[in-house]
Structure 1
Amino acid sequence: MSEQLRRRTLLLTGGAFAAGAVLGGGTAPAAALTGPAAAADEAAADAQIAEILRRIRPPRFPDRWFDVTDFGAVGDDATDSTAAIRAAIKACHRAGGGHVLVPTGDFRTGAVHLLTGVDLHLKAGSRLAFSQDPAAYLPVVQTRYEGTECYNYSPFVYAYGQRDIAVTGSGVLDGRADATHWWDWTGGPPPNEGPDKTLLLSMAADGVPVEQRVFGEGHYLRPNLLQFHRCENILLDGITVKDSPMWNIHPVLCRNVTIRGVTVDSPHGPNNDGIDPESCTDVLIERCTISTGDDCIAFKAGKDADGRRVNVPARYAVVRDCEMADGNGGVTAGSETTGGVMDIFVRDCRMSSPRLERAIRIKSNPQRGGTIANIDVRRVTVGQAADAVIEIVLNYANVITGAYPPDVHGITITRLTAAAAPRALNLLGLVDDPLRDIRLHACRFDGMQEENSIQYVEDLRLDQVWINGVRVDN
């Protein structure tokens, strides 16, 4: 780092005016968090994590097994096994729960709907190959599309209002989306999803009841690969998911969710987020490997008018020991933040790719609103990122005015290291809605090529922070 860049960084983080940026509202920076204070802060965070983990208990299932081939499924990558898989799930549910076994083979299927007490178990070498025909996901079901409730094509694996459900094993759920199936709905010549997205948002703004927001056939809103809606006690363990039409794993309004050892291999599709817990409580994501065409893990809480109507936060989540490669963000809050995103703890994750844009990202705008608070990140290792290592911005989609400014405060990042990226920090509040209480402690950023970009931040605290070998504490 040049001496000129060092002086500018210190000025930008010291609560003064610089190049049009207003930091700290003219107030002096708070005392740095060092020594015993840092230890006490980490102990308090660890206590919160322990309390969350105490509440999270994966479901357990009776030792009953229902092989889908006994119900007529054929793993020849040609026969439609939808009816057989559904029959096995119903039989398992009626028997009081257990495991529905998908053995080795390639099983073609349409929508799979889980029921209470059912573990869909994919044996090693098994593959659910989902139909590329939209009609295979009718009739429509209640869902949430980018934070707005409606009726639409069924997610490929779906459950509504169920308890004690799981998808486990080492098999593959292959959404089979590509440039001519599902992904082509995102843009280009009509037909595409643009008019339907506009219609859905206008319905929500006008207070149209959810039951009347019916899409599906004749419309172009893409379904998710896995969505669990208003469910409790969910386990995803060991599976691989790939090539979803849009978001891969999407629990919505759920409680007690465990996602562990899952591989998301979907780096090419649009809006192909990896794991998006939306308005969920008590979530554990651990030992997952994620490469996507959008955010790897994104906590969400509804969007705009519909988010205010439902008004349920994403809260109490732990992300630990995960690997992220391609993606717009490694761990993200937003952009659908209307119900609030709070009490999210990230630990011991590794992120690196020339196509990983940012490691830690918080994004919202004054139309989304919501409180984003108590986001605590520790011991994250970033190899390479293509943009800022840490980005917190309130102008998402270039929106800087609106009646619902988000309240973003209480963001702590400790012992993060980065080896190469254009810049360490991109922090952008708004002139009437600054970011507040952003703390970096014991972080090191090497190989940074550009200055930090910091505007409209109150109480930004840098303690033992190094950029290109220069300490930039304030």
Structure 2
Amino acid sequence: MSTFSRRHVLAAMTGAALAGSRAWAADDPWTTVYPQILKRIQPPKIAAKQFEITRFGARADGKTDCTDAIRKAIDEAARVGGGRVMAREGAFLTGAIHLKSNVNLVVEKGATLRFSPDPKLYPIVLTRFEGLECMNYSPFIYAFNQQNIAITGGGTLDGQASGEHWWPWAGKRGARPDDPNQRKARAALVEMAEKGVPVADRKFGDGAWLRPMFIQPYRCTNVQIEDVTITNSPMYEMHPVLCRNVIARNVKVSSHGPNNDGCDPESSVDVLIDGCTFDTGDDCIAIKSGRNADGRRLHSPSENLIVQNCVMKDGHGGVTMGSECSGGIRNVFAQDCQMDSPNLNVALRFKNNAVRGGVIEHVYMRNVKAGQVAQAAIDVDFYYEEGEKGSFTPVVRDVEVVNLEVKKCTTPWSLRGFKSAPVRDIRIRNCTFAGATKPPVAENVEGLKLDNVTVNGKPVTA
């Protein structure tokens, strides 16, 4: 073993238990767990009857407010037992769209739903903002306690967020000093959640500057988002919360504003993200389960999630867990993805700390090719944001990465646990890391196992 590898990979490891929690070939979750998850995830069954939004008063001129017409079409479809609400060729200006059970919102190729920048068109609803439940502006497309809902068709959903609308509320890059922003309301929401203020009393909206999400099914079952393009979102693009049986397939996301995550399943079970393309201003995919006390109150993990056949371009992380992970995250499978951008920071990312205190476990990645990432290819960071300044134990354990090929990165992996809470059982097998400018980092790690791993053409072994 080279001096380079031994000094930087092993020196910081505590209690290096070289055997992982399972043998390489024994009890392989890809053959035992993955097929069962995939089998359970099925698209909703929705009637084929069509309801043209133009029949209810919508105009495809990009100027007429079609909010009421789309609502009437959805109501009528739901009244008769379900169907397909059709937006055909042209541009339709709208406010919030609230889906109902057994309704498929079909935005056909050549059609665009343009969402108005007027906050008054987004009524106050129960939502989740950065892992905290509150009453705030409705997401652009929202559903609460519904089942068998879909958004399909090949068309475009344009949030019209920009440096003039929605994005300045974040108070981040590009915002002018005199722009109103979310900082005061966000701090108030965090404090309310920590104090256990009832959700119904966490009222925001006008004057609070908390941005709405784009698509947010909340407590829904059987959700499908397929064959649409999403652009210019105020915040997260796809954000299923407390949902079960969710499919995001062949969705193209292109949105580079602050907190513009591509797909963030939160406290959701049985989720498939398949064949999607992400070009985002934040994490391409970020799996979450609630922040701090609110996540522990709901105690609803995200579990049984599959990410496959996706393309990740710009973004903070390709596949990310956290940082809102207080409810726990487990059984995540990622495979056959392409990642490549100088503006993509990390391929596989874990964000946790002593304030979140979430358990992230059983995460498996295989057959991923990354042309380049700007930072570490694999990153586990317990020092994210508040770091050790909390009383809850962060956990990341049982992570396996197989057949990851990285052509350029700053460092192959950066694994940083606490002395009191080591990162445990990380297995890296048949992986190549080229173009690394810094050595790998392993601080407070137990059970790091390397098998057939090369860094800059040289084998590295534990």
Q: Is the CA contact 1:32–1:461 (under 8 Å) kept in the aligned structure 2? A: no
Question: Among 168, 172, 175, which residue is 1:184 paired with?
Answer: 168
Which of 420, 434, 441 is the aligned partner of 2:422? Answer: 434
| CA deviation string 1:344-387 (max 9, x = no partner) | 00011110001001111001110001110000001110001111
Give deviations 1:94-141, integer Å, cap 9, x for gaps: 010010000000000000000000000011100000001111102x00
* Separation (CA, whole Å) in 1 of partners of 2:159 and 2:179: 23
Paired residues for 1:51-62 under 5 Å: 51-62=36-47
- 1:133-172 alignment, distance < 5 Å: 133-138=118-123, 140-172=124-156
- Quote the residue 1:38 is aligned against: 24
1:194 corresponds to which of 183, 206, 225: 183
Q: Distance in 1 between matches of 2:400 and 2:117?
A: 43
Determine the structure 1 residue equivalent to 2:450: 462
Q: Does the Cα contact within 8 Å between 1:234 and 1:258 map onto a contact in 2?
A: yes
Unaligned 5+ segments in structure 2 are 172-176
Aligned to 1:370: 358
Distance of 1:201 and 1:162 partners within structure 2: 28
2:7 aligned partner: 11
Report what 1:122 is aligned to.
107
- Whichever residue aligns with residue 137 of structure 2, its letter is Y
How many angstroms apart in 2 are the aligned matches of 1:296 and 1:122?
23
Q: Identify the match of residue 241 of structure 2 among 244, 252, 267.
A: 252
Match of 2:91 in 1: 106
**Structure 1 residue 63 and structure 2 residue 52: aligned?**
no
Conserved? CA contact 1:137–1:153, under 8 Å: yes
Paired residue type of 1:69: T
Partner of residue 443, structure 1 = 431
- Is the counterpart of residue 85 in structure 1 residue 70 in structure 2? yes
TM normalised by structure 2 equals: 0.97
- Contact (CA 8 Å) 1:436, 1:459: kept in 2 or not? yes
Q: Is the 8 A contact 2:40 2:270 kept in 1?
A: yes
Q: CA RMSD in A?
A: 1.4
In 1: Cα distance, 2:5 partner to 2:251 partner: 40
SS in 1 for 2:33: helix
Residue 367 of structure 2 corresponds to residue 383 of structure 1? no
Residue identity matched to 2:4: R
One-letter amino acid of the counterpart of residue 174, structure 1: D
1:190 deviation in Å? Answer: 5.0
CA deviation string 1:201-246 (max 9, x = no partner): 1111111100000101121110000000000000011011111101
Task: Indicate yes or no: 2:285 matched with 1:297.
Answer: yes
C-alpha separation between the residues in 1 aligned to 2:293 and 2:333?
A: 28
Which consecutive unaligned segments of at least 5 residues does structure 1 have?
Answer: none
Cα deviation, residue 26, structure 1: 3.0
1:226 equivalent to 2:215? Answer: yes
SS for the counterpart of 1:252 is coil
Structure 1 match to 2:174: none
- Give the TM-score of the pair, scaled to structure 1: 0.94
Matches within 5 A, 1:330-409: 330-409=318-397
2:60 is matched with: 75
Detail structure 1 runs of 4+ shifted over 3 Å in the superposition. 11-14, 37-42
Q: Provide the rounded CA distance (Å) in 2 between the counterparts of 1:430 and 1:304.
A: 18
2:401 aligned to which of 413, 438, 442 = 413
Shift of 1:398: 4.6
> How big is each residue's C-alpha offset from its partner over 1:121-167, in whole Å with a ceiling of 9 and x where there is no partner?
011100000001111102x0000000000000000000000000000
1:31 positional shift: 7.4
CA distance in structure 2 between the aligned counterparts of 1:237 and 1:227, rounded to whole angstroms: 14
In structure 1, how many angstroms separate the alpha carbons of the residues matched to 2:229 and 2:137? 22
Letter in 2 for 1:98: G
Task: Give how far 1:63 is off.
Answer: 1.8
8 Å contact from structure 1 (residues 116, 163) kept in 2: yes
Using the alignment, how far apart are the partners of 1:329 and 1:68 within structure 2?
Answer: 38
Q: Identity rate of aligned residues, in percent? A: 45
1:35-69 deviation digits (Å, cap 9, x = unpaired): xx534454x32321111012111101112100000
**Paired residues, number:** 457
- What is the distance in 1 between the residues matched to 2:21 and 2:36? 27
